[in-house]
Structure formats: C-alpha cells, structure tokens
Homo-oligomer: A and B are copies of this chain.
C-alpha cells in the first residue's frame, strides 16, 4: 500500500490520500462547515480557505456541500489536486497542520441537502429473492426488469445522517392469513444495504443526461441504509409502490467519496442480456468493486458485493433523466439493496431470513427474524483505491428506538 501524505497514520483505515471524502462537521459553539477526512483527522476546509491555502469560493463555510457540489467537475478536480499537494508536500505541513482536527473531536452532520431521493432496484439477486418471497406465484423478475432499471421516488425529508436514531414506525399492516388489517408498530423492521450517488451539477429541464455525462453531473458516492417496514410495505404497495414502509427513515454515510476516488474500483459489470436500448448503453465499464459489510450490534451478518449489480450508476442516471426531469444539486440516487448469489451476501433481513421464516443466528448466539428495539445496524464498505491502496466508504449507522405515540390532537 502506498501513501505519500505527511499526516500521521493516514495510510491506515481507508482514509488515505487516495480517498479524501468530503463531509460537514461542527464543534460545540461553532458553525457547521465542510471538511475532508484524512487518516484520523478532519481537514477544516473553511479555515484552510480563509488562510488562503485553497481556492476560496465561500462554499466551504456553508453548512452543506451543496454550494461546492454545484461548482462542477473542473472545480472538484482542481480542489482535489490542491488537497493532494497540501497533504503530501512536507513544505506545506507547518501551515496545514493547524487545520487538522481529530475526527473524535467533531460531530459529523448530514453532508448535503437532499433535493429529490430516488431508490432503484438494480440487484438481480435481490430482485429475484424478493420476487420469490413476496410474489411466490409469479415470475420472480417482472417483465420490465432487464429492460430498464426499475425505481421509485422516496421521501427526501427523511434522509438522515449516520447516527440519527431510528424510531420504529407504526402503521397499518395485515399479517398474512389474517382477514383484517391492524394498526401498530411494525413487527418486520428491516435494513437495506445500498450505495448511492449524489448529483452536483443541475441539468436542463426537458433534456436527458446521457450515461457518458455521469462525471460531469455526479459529485460522489455514499452508503445508504434504506430502512424498511416490511409488514407495512407489503400491505400498502399495490398498485403504486412503497410509501410508508420506506418513508420513515433513510440513513446516509457522513462522508461523500468523490467519483474520482472510485475510478480505480471500476470493473466490468455483469453481462446484460438483452442488450439495453441505446440510451442505457455506456461506453465505459461502470461496475464498482465495493465490498460492503452489514453489522448488527457490531457483528457482521452479510458481505454484499456492489460489483454484482446488474444496472450501473451511469445507466441509472440516464434512465432517471430520460423523460426530461432535470437534476438538481443534492438529488440522491440509491442503488436498491445490494445482494449477491450467496446467502451471506444478501443485503436485507427479508432475504437473510426468508421474510422471518428462517431466523438468522448472530455470531453471539442471539437470533433475529427482524430488527428489535435497541439493535444497531452499521454499513461499511471498502474499495480499491489508487496506487494499490484500499479506500473506505461509510460508515452509516443507526439504532432502533421504540415506536412513539402521535402528536396530541
């Protein structure tokens, strides 16, 4: 593994010079601002730009990445190159070191304001598994599934930063076999391990964004936990899709990994048969060799591989905009649950437990069908970085809290 940074320990832990993800942080009594992770530190870009060490576009002192994300690829690339220079050249060390803050001394906040949130369904293994479990009398894959990356809009207002408590949702659900639906806290609360990308540069209303323009519009990647109440979802979803079974919470990781950092992770995606329509074709391979881990209460329960995804991120972008719906800065696109062919590569409890029929035994000997109050779910991921390094995405974590009563009327 190679690193040239003078930051102590930066070669370890996946936050080396090859990564440099962006986030938003604060310290008590101070305003939120933009930082970059390097080793065990946050580099304060607001103070660094105030000191004249990086180009000051006044976007780093704001409480979100949006102002920087809208600036576009030339600015992103120039800033990344400058950060590499500052963090590798010993000659800058004395001036840059005062802007490094131990990550343990800061609170990491939501990195960007979410405009719209779209959730795809792009893992063939996940689609087949859920089809078999939820629609046992139908073909597991819907007839459109290999023709287009199926997706729906989720709730942008409940995209929360890592660490936000997840309050168990209540709602209407019908237990299979029961004639009548009932109201109550969800008894089938699940996670979904996903990877998302966020748009930086808006597009023109009425004009689609070609897959080949992915790098010009997309700022970076995050890990996503698309929390799901399966009992609510199964009862409500016909004919218009998931609504309350998803809209209570979606968690994203604190650090946004730039697209440039993941170039070395690009791999050939699974063969697509039939060949997609021209607007979904992409000249470059855009599979991404991300190795995810799902942990319940600190114990690894699944290791999904993002390289197994059938539809790639540029294809998702081209599809989501083909009707002329423009991109806004902060639009978040999640992949759908990442699942692989093996049982321990499945990215949600619906699949890991066959909808609760086959409880999952955790390494500590306890069992889970679905999540219990007090459970903490953590997603993390690693990918190959430049120069043979490994880079880290995530983590995104959340703890389940008991259901709460409605507001007083």
Contacts and interface: CB of A to CB of B under 8 A. Distances in A.
Interface of A: 115-116, 118, 121, 131, 135, 142-144, 147-148, 150-158, 167, 169-172, 174, 181-183, 203-210, 212-213, 229, 232, 235-245, 247-248, 277-279, 319-320, 322-326, 328, 331, 401, 403-407, 409
Kindly name the residue among A121, A144, A279, A319 whose own CB sees the greatest number of chain B CB atoms within 10 A.
Answer: A144
A151 to B, nearest CB: 5
A254 B210 CA distance: 33
The 3 A-B pairs at the shortest CB distance, nearest first, are namely A241-B241, A167-B206, A169-B323
B142 A238 contact: yes
A323 B232 contact: yes
Contacts of A121: 240
Contact of A210 (B150, B331, B406): B406
Given A277-B183, A326-B158, A241 B240 contact: yes
Contact of A277 (B148, B152, B181, B237): B181
Given A153-B243, A240-B241, 9 more contacts: A131-B239, A147-B172, A167-B205, A213-B409, A237-B239, A239-B241, A244-B320, A322-B406, A324-B403
A245 B240 CA distance: 12
A147 B171 CA distance: 12
A182 to B, nearest CB: 8
B319 A142 contact: no
Nearest to A238: B142
A156 B158 contact: no
Contacts of A320: 243-244
Nearest to A142: B238
B205 A144 contact: no
Given A239-B237, A248-B323, A115 B207 contact: no
Given A116-B155, A155-B153, A248-B323, A203 B236 contact: no
Nearest to A229: B323
Contacts of A174: 144
16 contacts: A115-B156, A116-B156, A135-B239, A147-B181, A148-B172, A153-B155, A155-B325, A167-B206, A169-B324, A172-B322, A182-B277, A206-B401, A207-B406, A207-B407, A209-B406, A209-B407
A409 B210 CA distance: 6
A322 B206 CA distance: 36
Contacts of A279: 172, 183, 406
B244 A237 contact: no
A387 B205 CA distance: 44
Contacts of A239: 131, 135, 142, 150, 237, 241
A245 B123 CA distance: 22
B147 A325 contact: no
Contacts of A405: 207
Nearest to A153: B153
Nearest to A160: B205
B240 A278 contact: no
A174 B146 CA distance: 14
A77 B101 CA distance: 49
Kindly name the residue among A147, A206, A213, A235 whose own CB sees the greatest number of chain B CB atoms within 10 A.
Answer: A206
B181 A324 contact: no
Contacts of A237: 239-241
B151 A243 contact: yes
A246 to B, nearest CB: 9
A323 B207 contact: no
Contacts of A118: 243
B404 A116 contact: no
A143 to B, nearest CB: 8
A164 to B, nearest CB: 9
Contacts of A247: 153, 323, 325
